[in-house]
Amino acid sequence: MADQVQNTTAADVPVQQVDQDQLVVAAVTTPTTDVVVPPQPDHEDQKQQLDQEAPLKELINIPSSTDHDDAEKKNIIPEDNLSSSFKEETTRVADLSDNEKKALEELTQLVREALNKHEFSATSLSPPKEEQQQKPPSVAVISEEKQETEEKCDSVVTDTTTTTAAAVVEDDGAKTVEAIEETIVAISAAAKEEKEDAEKLLKLEADEKVSIWGIPLLVDERSDVILLKFLRARDFKVKESFSMLKNTIKWRKEFGIEELVDEDFGDDLKKVVFMHGFDKHGHPVCYNVYGEFQNKEVYQNAFSDEAKRERFLRWRIQFLERSIRKLDFTPGGISTIVQVNDLKNSPGLGKWELRQATKHALQLLQDNYPEFVAKQVFINVPWWYLAVNRMISPFLTQRTRSKFVFAGPSKSAETLFRYIAAEQVPVKYGGLSKDGEIFEATDAVTEITVKPAAKHTVEFPVTEACHLSWEVRVVGWDVKYGAEFVPSGEESYTVIIQKARKVGSSEEGVVCDSFKIGEAGKVVLTIENPTSKKKKLFYRFKTKPNSSACQTLCC
6-15, 97-106, 324-333, 538-547: least confidently modelled range:
6-15
Question: ∠ at Cα 104 (101, 109), nearest 5°?
Answer: 125
CB atoms within 10 A of CB 19: 31
Residue 453 identity (one-letter amino acid) = A
CB-side exposure of 26: number of CA atoms within 13 Å?
Answer: 41
Question: pTM, whole model, 2 decimals?
Answer: 0.72
Using CA atoms, how far apart are residues 224 and 95, in angstroms rounded to an integer?
13
The 10 Å CB-count burial string (b at 16+, else e) for 335-358 is bbbbbbbbbbbbbbbbbebbbbbb
547 vs 169, residue with greater confidence:
547
pLDDT tens readout for residues 270-317: 999 999 999 999 999 999 999 999 999 999 988 989 999 999 999 999
**Mean pLDDT of all residues in the chain?**
76
Q: What per-residue confidence (pLDDT) applies to 22?
A: 39
Overall average pLDDT of the 124-152 stretch: 46
8 A C-beta contact, residue 438 and residue 553: yes
Residue 432: left if φ>0, alpha if ψ -120 to 50, beta else—which one?
alpha
Using CA atoms, how far apart are residues 10 and 349, in angstroms rounded to an integer?
8
Q: What per-residue confidence (pLDDT) applies to 339?
A: 96
50-64, 92-106, 350-364, 445-459: least confidently modelled range:
50-64
266 vs 41, residue with greater confidence:
266
44-58, 188-202, 341-355: least confidently modelled range:
44-58
Cα 16 to Cα 7, 34, 87: the distances in Å are 8, 10, 25
Overall average pLDDT of the 468-480 stretch: 93
**Residue 122: band (very low, low, confident or very high) from pLDDT cuts 50, 70, 90:** low
Percentage of the chain beyond pLDDT 90 is 48
The 10 Å CB-count burial string (b at 16+, else e) for 85-100 is ebeebebeeeebeeeb
Q: What per-residue confidence (pLDDT) applies to 432?
A: 92
Given a cut of 60, whether residue 114 has pLDDT beyond it is: yes
Q: What per-residue confidence (pLDDT) applies to 13?
A: 33
User: What's 426's DSSP letter?
Assistant: B
Q: Which residues contact 95 (CB under 8 A, 6 or more apart)?
A: none
23-32, 338-347, 451-460, 513-522: least confidently modelled range:
23-32
Of 459, 431, 430, whose CA–CA distance to 445 is shortest? 431
Q: What per-residue confidence (pLDDT) applies to 389?
A: 75
174-188, 290-304, 469-483: least confidently modelled range:
174-188
pLDDT tens readout for residues 227-250: 999 999 999 999 999 999 999 999
pLDDT tens readout for residues 377-395: 999 998 777 677 777 777 7
**Residue 183: band (very low, low, confident or very high) from pLDDT cuts 50, 70, 90:** low
**Residue 400: band (very low, low, confident or very high) from pLDDT cuts 50, 70, 90:** confident
Of 467, 492, 482, 469, whose CA–CA distance to 549 is shortest? 467
CA dihedral 433, 438, 443, 449 (to 10 degrees): -60
Given a cut of 80, whether residue 451 has pLDDT beyond it is: yes
Give the helix/strand (H/E) hosting 69: helix 65-74
Question: How much helix, strand and coil, in percent to the nearest 5, is found in the chain?
Answer: 45, 20, 40
pLDDT tens readout for residues 481-509: 999 999 998 888 999 999 999 998 877 68
3-state secondary structure 381-418: CCCCHHHHHHHHHHHCCHHHHCCEEECCHHHHHHHHHH
Q: What per-residue confidence (pLDDT) applies to 35?
A: 36
Largest alpha-carbon pair distance within the chain? 135
Using CA atoms, how far apart are residues 542 and 378, in angstroms rounded to an integer?
34
Residue 398 identity (one-letter amino acid) = Q
8 A C-beta contact, residue 347 and residue 11: no
183-187, 330-334, 432-436: least confidently modelled range:
183-187
Overall average pLDDT of the 345-368 stretch: 83
